Amino acid sequence: MLTAGDLMTVNPDAISPETSLREIIGLMKEEGYRHLPVVDEQGKVIGIVTDRDVRLVMNSPVILHDRQQDELLLDKVTAESIMTPNPVTITPDTPAYRAAEMLSIYKFGALPVVDNDVLVGILTVTDFLDHFASGQSKNVIEQQSMGQ
């Protein structure tokens, strides 16, 4: 049976609650991340920051701000203040179909994967799409080689 451990990104980058918005945006842009787990000193997942969380802070229609205020936001706002606390997590042994159901039902983009409460991976919708696409590519290649 396919499990979360088979599909997840192992040992993903994570941030601390004190990580500044500037650092979060930099990491997301540099690495192409859309989700960053927030962990405490022991590696326990305490939250998750998504690209949506970042956009909501930076593009709030309630606050009209200029460049100087943007700079202040980037340095003063921390992961702890914008994260979703206590996110739903799964273990590496969670069946992949269950993880897919959770992502679909709750409209999550990612699920942190923990073992003994410590972050060991992250499973994203993209991981499922990559797995599906690689399987389909393999099937097409096999069919083409059989047809020739």
Exposure string over 33-50, b if 16+ CB within 10 A, otherwise e:
bebbbbbeeeeebbbbbb
Cα-Cα-Cα-Cα torsion 109, 121, 86, 32, nearest 10 degrees, comes to -50
Task: Fill in the amino acid letter for 63.
Answer: I
**Which domains, and CATH codes, for the chain?**
4-147 (3.10.580.10)
pTM for this structure?
Answer: 0.84
Question: pLDDT under 50 in the chain at which residues?
Answer: 140
Q: Give the tokens for residue 142.
A: 């096999």
Q: From residue 102, give the alpha-carbon distance in Å to each of 5, 35, 43.
A: 15, 16, 23
Integer Rg of the chain from CA: 18
User: What is the reported pLDDT for 74?
Assistant: 84
Task: Fill in the amino acid letter for 78.
Answer: T
User: What is the reported pLDDT for 82?
Assistant: 95
User: What is the reported pLDDT for 140?
Assistant: 45
User: What is the reported pLDDT for 2?
Assistant: 95
Q: Provide CB contacts within 8 A for 148, sequence distance 6+.
A: none
User: What is the reported pLDDT for 111?
Assistant: 98
